[in-house]
């Protein structure tokens, strides 16, 4: 079997971040003078993995990640003062096939982020409420974060409700859909993306 191009050699399913980063690296080689967000959008749509439910990636998602790569000094924006011109980017720090985990501010997102730790704890506990899950996750996070993650995964069918919430008593859950090691991610659009499956598995417009 022919070896995959270097920009596609990654372990497991490609996340949205992986696909955008692969496009950035490929476009850097094809267009060393710079590329635009539209170039990235076109590249990822034409080379969507077979398991992807949608070939394209939302332009706001791409824009946010590019912004984070600029802030994190992975990309440089040409003519940054030209606010009303189409942004042109250049790759200045290629760290390999693994996509940088950065927020739109450029802050590095640690591999052990809150959702990863909550997901890991869910697979250890047989039954739990959000308070027990937060304690088992062994990471500092807001109570509302743990509560919302449980509620969202329950809506998406990953958790079974064992006990409904009552005044003073939180709902209890059990994990019934374990799709793999990587935590399902609640995106800003309130979609649930499962990197183990490489697809959006729940969103309010369709599943509510």
Distance, CA of 187 to chain centre = 7
Residues 132 and 189 in one domain: yes
Residues 11 and 46 in one domain: yes
Residues 119 and 195 in one domain: yes
Distance, CA of 27 to chain centre = 22
The structure's pTM equals: 0.54
Where the chain has pLDDT below 70, the residues are 1-14, 51-54, 81-83, 109-112, 139-140, 188-189, 204-208
| Residues 22/35, Cβ–Cβ less than 8 Å | no
Specify if 105 maps to a domain. no
Domain that includes residue 157, residue range:
114-207
Specify if 128 maps to a domain. yes
Residues 84 and 150 in one domain: no
Residue where one domain finishes, among candidates 57, 91, 125: 91
CB neighbours of 23 closer than 8 A, spacing ≥ 6?
39, 40, 43, 44, 47
| CATH code of the domain containing 38 | 1.10.10.10
| Residues 74/100, Cβ–Cβ less than 8 Å | yes
Number of domains into which the chain is organized: 2
**pLDDT for 136-152, tens place per residue?**
887 667 788 889 999 99
Paired residues of 172 in beta bridges: 129, 163
């Amino acid at each position: 079997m022919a070896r995959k191009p270097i920009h596609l050699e990654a372990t497991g399913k490609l996340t949205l971040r992986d696909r955008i980063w692969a496009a950035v690296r490929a476009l850097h080689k094809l267009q060393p003078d710079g590329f635009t967000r539209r170039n990235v959008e076109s590249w990822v749509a034409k080379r969507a993995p077979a398991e992807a439910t949608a070939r394209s990636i939302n332009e706001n998602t791409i824009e946010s990640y590019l912004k984070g790569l600029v802030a994190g000094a992975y990309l440089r924006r040409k003519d940054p003062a030209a606010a009303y011109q189409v942004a042109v980017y250049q790759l200045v720090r290629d760290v390999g096939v693994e996509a940088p985990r950065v927020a739109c501010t450029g802050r590095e997102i640690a591999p052990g982020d809150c959702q990863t730790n909550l997901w890991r704890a869910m697979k250890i506990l047989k039954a739990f409420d959000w308070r027990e899950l937060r304690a088992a996750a062994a990471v500092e996070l807001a109570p509302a974060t743990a509560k919302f993650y449980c509620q969202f995964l329950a809506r998406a069918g990953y958790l079974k409700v064992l006990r409904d919430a009552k005044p003073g008593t939180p709902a209890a859950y059990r994990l019934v859909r374990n799709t793999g090691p990587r935590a399902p991610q609640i995106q800003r659009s309130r979609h649930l993306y499962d990197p183990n499956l490489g697809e959006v598995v729940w969103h309010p417009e369709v599943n509510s």
